[in-house]
């Protein structure tokens, strides 16, 4: 979910001349080849931890659908999911989505202690209308303990963490101490086990975006202290990518369709969170060179939740910059959102 407030001028982006007419079909062919199954089959599934604030906006649901579609294609392995908000229906809604996609066993952790909370147009209804294994939010594991246990069991430098909400759980992970899962503290465990963190958050070159300002103290700490490479998909990236209307083609038994129906009557919605998932799974390994460029530098987060970007070729952070027309990115994302669950084998 993402909302932004900014008085900053748009960041300049290099422009090229309008391509010749014959170039566009060639570009489409090249893009198809870049993200073709044969190209992606050469990679092992990417181990992913997904952290969400699934209660306000509906793009969290769209991002979950994209992640499951990529897992069905063998591109991702979903290790765990976490909820960074206190709405008690959110983990149940997430478990219902996972169940419909044939992965109801994915462990779900919830934030413990103070965290954001607000009503949801869809989470409680999805939890009531669709089957799920999780009985209550109280039954879910502590997200910090779950993340530590999952990370400790993975090969060094292998896991990608994707956040599409506040950074409360990541702050708690960094602050965690040694436990039965690992003798390392949280920061050391992350440094050892995490390959990269991909965050839907921030506004570039500066602004004040929801996922950052809603828990500004956590954002300040995590952005400053995170010990692995970081890629931000900012507000301006997903704001132009509209998806959701084609979910009208799906049956009423699809909870993704139902969530969008409850949120906005099955109209299009901005695709902030989907961009982070898609880039995490395909972009880190170079599978999306024409979708987005990246800029290297450092994101500075202020105590009020505002942020400002500093270009620095040696900086620890990157952020996405638009390359492909947003409607073409939207088509690719929405195709993934529309995929039917693949039968799971035991």
Q: Enumerate domains of the chain plus CATH numbers.
A: 21-337 (3.90.245.10)
* Percentages of the chain per state (helix, strand, coil), in multiples of 5: 40, 20, 40
pLDDT tens sequence across 4-16: 554 443 333 332 3
Mean pLDDT for the stretch of residues 244-268: 97
Calculate mean pLDDT across residues 21-41. 44
Q: State pLDDT tens for residues 115-165.
A: 999 999 999 999 999 999 999 999 999 999 999 999 999 999 999 999 999
Q: Name, in order, each residue with C-beta under 8 angstroms of 118's C-beta and a sequence gap of 6 or more.
A: 55, 56, 85, 87
pLDDT tens per residue across span 157-195: 999 999 999 999 999 999 999 999 999 999 999 999 999
Residues 6+ away with beta carbon under 8 Å from 120: 54, 55, 56, 87, 89, 90, 93
Task: Say which residue the tokens 């994302």 belong to.
Answer: 333
In a 10 Å sphere around its CB, with 0-12 CB exposed, 13-18 middle and 19+ buried, how is residue 159 labelled?
buried
| Contact (Cβ atoms closer than 8 angstroms) between residue 202 and residue 209 | yes
Q: Distances in Å between the alpha carbon of 38 and those of 135, 287, 307?
A: 40, 12, 40
**What is the reported pLDDT for 3?**
58
Q: Supply the pLDDT for residue 88.
A: 97
Statement: the pTM of the whole predicted model exceeds 0.85: yes
**Residue among 82, 49, 229 at smallest CA distance from 152:** 49
Q: Which pLDDT score, from 0 to 100, does residue 289 have?
A: 85
């Amino acid at each position: 979910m993402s909302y932004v407030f900014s008085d900053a001028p748009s960041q300049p982006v290099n422009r090229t001349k309008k391509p010749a007419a014959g170039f566009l079909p060639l570009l489409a062919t090249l893009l198809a080849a870049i993200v073709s199954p044969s190209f992606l089959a050469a990679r092992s599934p990417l181990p992913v931890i997904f952290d969400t604030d699934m209660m306000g906006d509906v793009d969290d649901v769209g991002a979950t659908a994209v992640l499951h579609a990529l897992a069905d294609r063998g591109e991702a392995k979903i290790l765990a999911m976490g909820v960074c908000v206190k709405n008690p229906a959110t983990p149940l809604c997430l478990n219902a989505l996972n169940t419909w996609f044939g992965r109801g066993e994915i462990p779900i952790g919830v934030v413990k202690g103070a965290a954001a909370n607000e009503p949801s147009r869809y989470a409680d209804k999805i939890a009531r209308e669709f089957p799920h294994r999780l009985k209550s939010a109280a039954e879910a594991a502590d997200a910090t303990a779950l993340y530590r246990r999952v990370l400790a069991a993975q090969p060094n430098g292998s896991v990608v963490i994707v956040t599409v909400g506040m950074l409360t759980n990541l702050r708690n992970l960094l602050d965690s101490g040694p436990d039965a899962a690992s003798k390392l503290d949280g920061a050391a465990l992350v440094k050892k086990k995490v390959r990269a963190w991909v965050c839907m958050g921030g506004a570039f070159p500066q602004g004040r975006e929801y996922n950052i300002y809603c828990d500004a103290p956590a954002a300040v700490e995590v952005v400053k202290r995170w010990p692995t490479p970081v890629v931000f998909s900012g507000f301006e990236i997903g704001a132009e990518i509209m998806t959701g209307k084609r979910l009208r083609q799906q049956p009423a038994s699809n909870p993704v369709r139902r969530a969008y129906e409850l949120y906005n009557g099955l109209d299009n919605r901005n695709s902030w969170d989907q961009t982070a998932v898609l880039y995490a799974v395909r972009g880190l390994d170079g599978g999306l060179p024409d979708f987005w460029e990246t800029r290297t530098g450092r994101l500075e987060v202020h105590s009020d939740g505002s942020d400002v970007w500093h270009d620095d070729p040696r900086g620890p952070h990157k952020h996405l910059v638009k390359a492909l027309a947003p409607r073409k990115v939207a088509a690719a994302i929405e195709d993934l959102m529309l995929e039917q669950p693949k039968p799971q084998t035991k």
